[in-house]
Structure 1
Amino acid sequence: MGRKVALGGILTAISIIFLYLAVYLPSAKLTMYFLTGIIPGFILVEMGARQAWLLYFATSMLSFLVLGNLVNAVPYIFIFGIYPLIKYYIEKTRNILIELTLKLLFFNIASLAVYFIWTRVFLINITIAFPIVWLVLGLQFAFLVYDYVFTRVIFYYWDKIRVYWRKDVR
């Protein structure tokens, strides 16, 4: 039990650090969101869905308290932080067509939520210089690339890193 609490606390702190860096390093914002989104995936591999949900909620709540800019917490809360958990449940279907459909559906709904929160709650003016169809298609392609890279990172962690630090696996 103590190991779970300690690892969860450390990974929550690392998540908050990455979110904090996303606020103050605008050129590395997407990288920081990606790194923050990987952490629930790691805890999901190590300890299961329950602990991953706890880490996600703890990081989401702390992001409101710690970050000076709440606008930057919204992508983590609606897309990057919750996606590893959604992905976990979606991939239990073991049907690639259903998985892709559900993943893209999640991404589109989450992106719309972020857009409406930014424009309606935070009153950010977002202008698009090209047709919306190209933006939607480009974002969906980028999301599929993100999903692929995310999967590769988790598999690498599972195969190479996880085995070496756990005493009970050797």
Structure 2
Amino acid sequence: MINGRDIKNKKGRIVALGGILLALSLICLYAASFVPGFEITLYTVSSVFIPIMMIESKGKGGWLLYIACSVMALLILPNKAAAVPYICFFGIYGILKCYIEKIQKPVVQLVLKFAVFTGIILVAYHFFYSLFFGVITLKDAPPFILLIVSEIFFLCYDVILTGVINYYYRRFYGRI
């Protein structure tokens, strides 16, 4: 039987975990704004914390963590542009992944994941192309080839993120 004290303790643990995950996410984003060459790695690491919060809070905390991290990143990062990849893809994808993977059909999951990624990439490309028209040049590769290559990297990212989530389940879930 669960009493009121257990519920308060669980809520307190979730809030504390959210604070820790928020701090870790912001550290990764802060480092990504300063460490050249490792930006994608740091964005990828920052994206791991959202699914953990989704798991521990049964969904709601993941949204709160994403919103809090996005707002805080825009407030505290000296390079505001460093928050854009997190806000547009790396932060939100962990939430969408959790919902997509509730669908029981793996083919549908894969199609939805690629549709989400492709949609984000196309919107970002058109937005930034129109914003920086004339500055962005793709001399050697047509955009279609870049999209295919990015889809391959996305597949690797999704597989790695799934592995990290599975590792978290096996090693830490229920122990926090």
Q: Does the pair score TM above 0.5?
A: yes
Larger radius of gyration: 2
Q: Tell me, in whole angstroms, the C-alpha distance in 2 between the residues paired with 1:9 and 1:116.
A: 35
Structure 1 residue 101 and structure 2 residue 101: aligned?
Answer: no
Alignment-mate amino acid for residue 151 of structure 1: T
Q: Which has the higher helix share?
A: 1
Q: Tell me, in whole angstroms, the C-alpha distance in 1 between the residues paired with 2:69 and 2:85.
A: 13
Shift of 1:120: 4.1
Name the residue aligned to 1:113.
123
Structure 1 residue 84 and structure 2 residue 90: aligned?
Answer: no
Name the residue aligned to 2:74.
64
Name the residue aligned to 2:3.
none
- Alpha-carbon spacing, 1:132–1:4, altered in 2? closer, same or farther (3 Å): same
Structure 1 residue 161 and structure 2 residue 175: aligned?
Answer: no
Alignment-mate amino acid for residue 171 of structure 2: K
Seq. identity, %: 38
Shift of 1:23: 0.6
Structure 1 residue 149 and structure 2 residue 160: aligned?
Answer: yes
Alignment of 1:7-18 (within 5 A): 7-18=17-28
Structure 2 unaligned runs (5+)? 1-10
What is the count of residue pairs matched by the alignment? 165
Structure 1 unaligned runs (5+)? none
Deviations 1:25-58 (A, max 9, x none): 1211011000100000111122221000000000
- Alpha-carbon spacing, 1:156–1:124, altered in 2? closer, same or farther (3 Å): farther
Scaled by the length of structure 2, the TM-score of the pair is 0.86
